[in-house]
Amino acid sequence: MARRPLILVSPSIEKRGVEFHDLSASLSVKYDFAVLQGGGIPLTAPATIDRAVLAEAVRSVDGVMLTGGDDINSDLYDPKLPRKIRRTVDQTPDGGGRDLRELILIEEVFQQQKPLLAICRGHQLLNVAFGGQLIADIRQQVPKALNHQRLDLAGELVHEAALTPGSLLAKICGKRILGVNSSHHQAVQTASDPLVATAISPDGLVEAMELKPQAGLRMPFMLSVQFHPERLTQKFTAHRAIFKAFVAACARNRQAKS
């Protein structure tokens, strides 16, 4: 029997953990459940910025998943962000270590040609990794936007997203319109080359990105989403399908390289 694909999952960092109140790695069990439901085995990425260690971690697994959490350091995408907006940006409690760690993971994923699924914060950081900008605070910078901070409905569909026909996400979900949850106050401003937006919310925000078909880069699987499909897999087959497709791509990529 073939082993299940191993998925490296990048955690958040908490200021005060359960054990001794130490700075702690934190990960919602929803991510683990979604990967397991998709047929994979989740492994938590090490809390280090040692490039050699992270490169070995990526080599040891069949795919990488970036998760949600704290805001990204605005200096990485807009050092001149106005002070009144900068005040709304939460800094990571590990002094930017998570930003650097995940930027290294992104670089390694592309170098090693491993499947990548990036969710919420991961979606935003992927854009930053390619030199893109973020909307640091939707309410201030997009006054007519929907309320995207519906933490009270984290496991429910709160708005729709229009999917690009023929895109990876549209093929996975089998839909042109996908209902999504929404629990973020930041967003991708514009998909940075070689990325392309493949899902758009009614107010124009980027809900998903993939590689441009004509881009020189080739990946076995690359999808980023602003919403949280891991919180919707129990109720909605389209969101469950995202993890099944990702894990299946991880299995195919491993077999192709073996």
Compute CA 13 distance to the chain's CA centroid, rounded to the nearest angstrom: 16
- Split at pLDDT 50, 70, 90, the class of 1 is low
- Split at pLDDT 50, 70, 90, the class of 21 is confident
Q: What is the pLDDT of residue 173?
A: 97
User: How large is the average pLDDT for residues 66-87?
Assistant: 92
> Regarding beta strands 187-188 and 195-200, do their DSSP bridges make them parallel or antiparallel, or are they unpaired?
unpaired
* Domain-located, residue 75: yes
Catalytic one of 14, 102, 108, 120: 120
* Domain-located, residue 1: no
Q: What is the pLDDT of residue 14?
A: 82
Tallying the residues shown for the chain, one arrives at: 258
* Domain-located, residue 198: yes
Catalytic: 19?
Answer: no
* Domain-located, residue 176: yes
Do 126 and 232 touch, CB atoms closer than 8 A? no
* Domain-located, residue 26: yes
Catalytic: 250?
Answer: no
The terminus-to-terminus CA distance of the chain in angstroms comes to 16
| Residue labelled with tokens 């050699």 | 52
Domain span holding position 56: 6-257
Nearest to 245 by CA among 61, 72, 12, 7: 7
User: How large is the average pLDDT for residues 129-146?
Assistant: 94
CATH number at residue 235: 3.40.50.880
User: How large is the average pLDDT for residues 161-181?
Assistant: 98
User: Considering Cα of 162, then 166, then 168, then 171, what sign does the dihedral take?
Assistant: positive
- Quick one: DSSP state of residue 229? G
Question: How do residues 230-246 score in pLDDT, each as one tens digit?
Answer: 999 999 999 999 999 99
- Quick one: DSSP state of residue 47? S
Catalytic one of 14, 102, 207, 230: 230
The Cα 162–Cα 177 span in angstroms is 5
> Regarding beta strands 116-119 and 63-66, do their DSSP bridges make them parallel or antiparallel, or are they unpaired?
parallel
* Domain-located, residue 108: yes
252 by DSSP, 3-state: which?
A: helix
pTM value surpassing 0.85: yes
Structure tokens at 110: 């592309």
Question: How do residues 194-205 score in pLDDT, each as one tens digit?
Answer: 999 999 999 999
- Split at pLDDT 50, 70, 90, the class of 170 is very high
Number of structural domains, the chain? 1
| Residue labelled with tokens 């925000």 | 205
What is the percentage of the chain residues whose pLDDT exceeds 90? 83
Dihedral over alpha carbons 234, 240, 246, 250 (to 10 degrees): 60
User: How large is the average pLDDT for residues 33-56?
Assistant: 97
Residue 218 has pLDDT above 90, yes or no: no
Do 107 and 99 touch, CB atoms closer than 8 A? no
Residue 92 has pLDDT above 90, yes or no: no
